[in-house]
């Protein structure tokens, strides 16, 4: 029986009600909340965690002993471990992710809704005795810097040591957080259980309950209840659940934005500093852009964040952003020294890998890391790799502290945003880069974003779906109202808002190959954007917005040729006309919640398409 060091000491056996050692918490709201859940879930013991090295070491030892993680070769990957999940628990479960608003209409057509009272009653039945034989880990955490007005606090309770260890990487977990929560009693309650009590049965390496998995959000009361899955955003409740679904509702109510966005610091050869955000669906190049290594001389890029941005109005009228996370939870397949050298250096040590393949010499491997798989691989399910199917799961992940990034920007508590990028995977139609004409037009471009689906979420891979603002799985309320909230940001001082750009790195030629080289060469597009911000170059009008004038986009040294360059910006009239009709269908989902401004933008887009067709 392990005893984990923690601020309040070892809490020992919990029978009924509150253990006396929980007196470390003095705020009645916190104490009563913990009392209720300990009594319902009936853990064998409870422990409050912080992120000191001894606690982490004990969690690692527990997980190694259980077989959940295994150490990697310390000479090749120091301080790193490999986890293999249950094959039934490998990705976000969007079909089991619920927005339990008081009114179904408030959840909107893009969310799965359940009546909150009924959902809580059903889940309390599942939670009853769910932690028998297990330890309840109590994790006070902050999303954002402790003490900052940007920050939201939460307490996650979980019976998974893997989740506890991962939360210590992805959020701030220390004594300052505990004190801040206890002083104010303000926190987002985040309840998690793998749904695998040990009464009458032995433990397993990856406990879960796929038949009864639910990730429920209660927007009005700012609560998160998760049951059955131990994987990723289903279980690390500070990430998508709090930082996006719950935070998006708080942002709507309080006048700010909680977005699925990277934040990049870019310094030009003129030593001009710019901060750029980018919204891309998962596995569409967001982390690669956040960790950009520019190929053009004189440009420098630093990472502020790769996944989430919270944006608030500053006194100067501009939008200021923070990354509330303290770690990276990235998709491993496709990551290589060529595609993302910064990520490869970041995960060179002190990293938890999940569902990757293991090499014969005790390292990890995934598709795309090298051209050919090495000999003697053990696949993500722990079996010798035969060459059939993927060796690593397509949604295999790495979890690593943000401080391991070699290009980490020093700014943590707010940077002014100059430009916002929206993008996805489109093999045609959408140009390499397009500037929105106005803030309203930019919101229109964000609202119609579409991308090929990936293995980061359940469902068919390769199907094109609308993913507005890359927030389809993450918006905690009616998406039509979400569009309206974005539009409302321009009601005061619209000129101070960032310029909005639509980008598409994924256009393909007739042979199916990518036309644009991407990766570090994406700085060429960013350079054009900055030239536009500074008024140094003009542009050409197109149905979707302003595209570069010939000669203004730096393509020196690229083997594009005239035909390749034209392919980056070509907009086929027939495809455009079809896109107009598809957008009409997309907008129809939102009924009378669709802002009138976007209906006007669609009609203007239709008119521009018709004009081009006639021209």
Tell me the residue range of the domain where 34 lies. Answer: 20-65+92-255
Spatial CA neighbour of 361 closest among 345, 378, 385: 378
Among residues 100, 284, 356, 475, the one annotated as catalytic is: 284
Among 210, 228, 255, residue at a domain's last position: 255
pLDDT number for residue 454: 52
6 pLDDT more than 90: no
Q: What is the CATH number of the domain that holds 546?
A: 3.90.228.20
Mean local confidence (pLDDT), 276-286: 88
Which residues are CB-contacts of 101 (< 8 A; sequence separation ≥ 6)? 107, 113, 116, 218, 219, 220, 477
pLDDT number for residue 208: 98
pLDDT number for residue 12: 34
pLDDT number for residue 4: 35
Q: Is 284 a catalytic residue?
A: yes
pLDDT number for residue 563: 86
Mean residue pLDDT across the chain? 92
pLDDT number for residue 67: 97
Cα–Cα distance measured from residue 428 to residue 203, given in angstroms and rounded to the nearest whole number: 50
Residue 76 lies in a domain: no
18 pLDDT more than 60: no
pLDDT number for residue 463: 63
Under 8 Å between Cβ of 242 and 154: yes
Mean local confidence (pLDDT), 327-342: 95
What are 27's two structure tokens? 């705020």
Residues 463 and 585 grouped into a single domain: yes
Cα–Cα distance measured from residue 592 to residue 313, given in angstroms and rounded to the nearest whole number: 28
Among 255, 289, 305, residue at a domain's last position: 255
pLDDT number for residue 461: 54
Work out the pLDDT band at 3, boundaries 50, 70, 90: very low
400 pLDDT more than 70: yes
Which pTM was predicted?
A: 0.94
Residues 248 and 268 grouped into a single domain: no
First vs last Cα of the chain: how many Å apart?
77
pLDDT number for residue 199: 85
Residues 418 and 564 grouped into a single domain: yes
Task: Give residue-wise pLDDT tens across range 78-91.
Answer: 999 999 999 999 99
Under 8 Å between Cβ of 192 and 235: yes
Work out the pLDDT band at 453, boundaries 50, 70, 90: low
134 pLDDT more than 80: yes
Cα–Cα distance measured from residue 37 to residue 191, given in angstroms and rounded to the nearest whole number: 9
401 pLDDT more than 80: yes
Query: Residue 344's Cα: distance from chain center in Å?
Result: 19
Work out the pLDDT band at 23, boundaries 50, 70, 90: very low
Half-sphere exposure of 456 (CA within 13 A, CB side): 23
Residue 376 lies in a domain: no
Residues 166 and 291 grouped into a single domain: no
Residue 176 lies in a domain: yes
Residues 203 and 142 grouped into a single domain: yes
pLDDT number for residue 455: 52
283 pLDDT more than 60: yes
| One-character DSSP codes across 521-535 | GGHHHHHHHHHHHTT
């Amino acid at each position: 029986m392990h005893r984990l060091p923690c601020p309040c000491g070892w809490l020992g056996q919990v029978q009924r009600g509150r253990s006396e050692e929980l007196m470390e918490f003095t705020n009645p709201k916190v104490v009563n909340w913990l009392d209720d859940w300990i009594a319902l879930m009936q853990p064998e013991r409870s422990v409050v965690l912080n992120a000191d090295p001894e606690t982490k070491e004990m969690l690692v030892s527990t997980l190694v002993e259980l077989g959940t993680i295994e150490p990697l070769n310390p000479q090749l990957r120091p301080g790193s471990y490999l986890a293999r999940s249950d094959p039934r628990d490998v990705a976000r479960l969007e079909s089991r992710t619920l927005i339990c608003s008081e009114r179904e209409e408030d959840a909107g057509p893009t969310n799965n809704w359940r009546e909150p009272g009924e959902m809580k009653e059903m889940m309390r039945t599942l939670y009853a005795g769910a932690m028998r034989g297990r330890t309840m880990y109590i994790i006070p955490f902050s999303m954002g810097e402790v003490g900052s007005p940007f920050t939201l606090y939460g307490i996650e309770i979980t019976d998974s040591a893997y989740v506890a260890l991962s939360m210590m990487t992805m959020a701030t977990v220390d004594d300052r957080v505990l004190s801040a929560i206890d002083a104010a009693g303000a926190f987002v309650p985040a309840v998690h259980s793998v749904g695998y009590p040990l009464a009458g049965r032995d433990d397993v390496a990856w406990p879960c309950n796929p038949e009864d998995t639910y990730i429920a959000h209660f927007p009005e009361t700012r609560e998160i209840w998760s049951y059955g899955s131990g994987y990723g955003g289903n279980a690390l409740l500070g990430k998508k659940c709090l930082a996006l679904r719950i935070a998006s509702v708080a942002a709507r109510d309080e006048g700010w934005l909680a977005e699925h966005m990277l934040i990049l610091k870019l310094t030009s050869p003129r030593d001009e500093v710019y901060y750029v955000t980018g919204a891309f669906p998962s596995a569409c190049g967001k982390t690669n852009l956040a960790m950009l290594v520019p190929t053009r001389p004189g440009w420098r890029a630093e990472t502020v964040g790769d996944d989430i941005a919270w944006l608030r109005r500053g006194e100067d009228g501009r939008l200021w952003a923070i990354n509330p996370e303290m770690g990276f939870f990235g998709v491993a397949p496709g990551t290589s020294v060529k595609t993302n050298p910064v990520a490869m250096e970041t995960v060179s040590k002190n990293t938890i890998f999940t569902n990757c393949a293991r090499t014969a010499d005790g390292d990890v491997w995934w598709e795309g890391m090298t051209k050919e798989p090495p000999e003697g691989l053990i696949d993500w399910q722990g079996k010798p790799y035969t060459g059939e199917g993927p060796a690593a799961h397509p949604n295999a992940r790495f979890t690593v502290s943000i401080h391991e990034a070699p290009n980490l920007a020093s700014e943590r508590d707010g940077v002014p945003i100059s430009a916002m990028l929206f993008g996805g995977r489109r093999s045609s139609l959408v140009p390499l880069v397009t500037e929105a004409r106005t803030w309203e037009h930019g919101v229109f471009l964000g609202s119609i974003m579409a991308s090929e689906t990936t293995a980061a979420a359940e469902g068919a891979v390769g199907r094109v779906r609308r993913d507005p603002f890359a927030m389809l799985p993450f918006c905690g309320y009616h998406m039509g109202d979400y569009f309206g909230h974005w539009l409302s940001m321009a009601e005061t001082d619209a000129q101070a808002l960032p310029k909005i750009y639509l980008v598409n790195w994924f256009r393909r030629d007739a042979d199916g190959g990518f036309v644009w080289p991407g990766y570090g060469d994406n700085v060429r597009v960013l350079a054009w954007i900055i030239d536009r911000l500074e008024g140094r170059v003009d542009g050409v009008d197109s149905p979707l917005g302003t595209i570069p004038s010939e000669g203004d986009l730096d393509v020196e040294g690229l083997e594009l040729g005239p035909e390749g360059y034209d392919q980056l910006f070509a907009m086929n009239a027939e495809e455009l006309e079809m896109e107009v009709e598809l957008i009409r269908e997309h907008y129809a989902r939102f009924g009378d919640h669709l802002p009138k401004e976007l209906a006007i933008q669609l009609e203007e887009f239709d008119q521009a398409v018709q004009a081009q067709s006639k021209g």
